[in-house]
Amino acid sequence: MGRSPYPSMGLRVQGHALTMARMRTKLRWAALVLALVVLALWFFGGPNLGWTKNSVAHTEKDPVTEIESTVYVKRWVPGIDFLGGGLTAAALLAGGSFFFGKKKPA
């Protein structure tokens, strides 16, 4: 009578807790990697404190007349909005990891 009709039930619950703890860890690692990638792209792409740009102004001097003119070169430069959006997404991933419970000791 003391025996449970569902002997494998304890193993499933234990496996579920382990999966939840792994999910929590994976979400935190994903948040860290995302934050580092966003920071690296922003920093090495030219740390622009303005908005993200798709073209950059470049001044060229005409060799014959020596008149300076502004030419726009197509180049993507990540701005502060890219940095903020990426770090917000990383924070949401890290915050989402708290919805998964800790592994409870057996």
Q: Specify if 55 maps to a domain.
A: yes
Q: Specify if 19 maps to a domain.
A: yes
- Residues of the chain with pLDDT > 70, as a percent, come to 78
For residue 20, the enclosing domain spans: 11-99
pLDDT at position 4 is 53
Q: Specify if 33 maps to a domain.
A: yes
The CB density around residue 54, as the number of other CB atoms within 10 Å, is 9
Q: Specify if 65 maps to a domain.
A: yes
User: pLDDT band at 11, cuts 50/70/90?
Assistant: very low
Highest mean pLDDT among 2-6, 30-34, 46-50, 101-105: 30-34
DSSP 3-state of 97: helix
Q: Which element (helix H / strand E) includes 93?
A: helix 80-96
Q: Specify if 5 maps to a domain.
A: no
- Segment 19-38 shows an average pLDDT of 91
How many domains are there within the chain? 1
User: pLDDT band at 20, cuts 50/70/90?
Assistant: confident
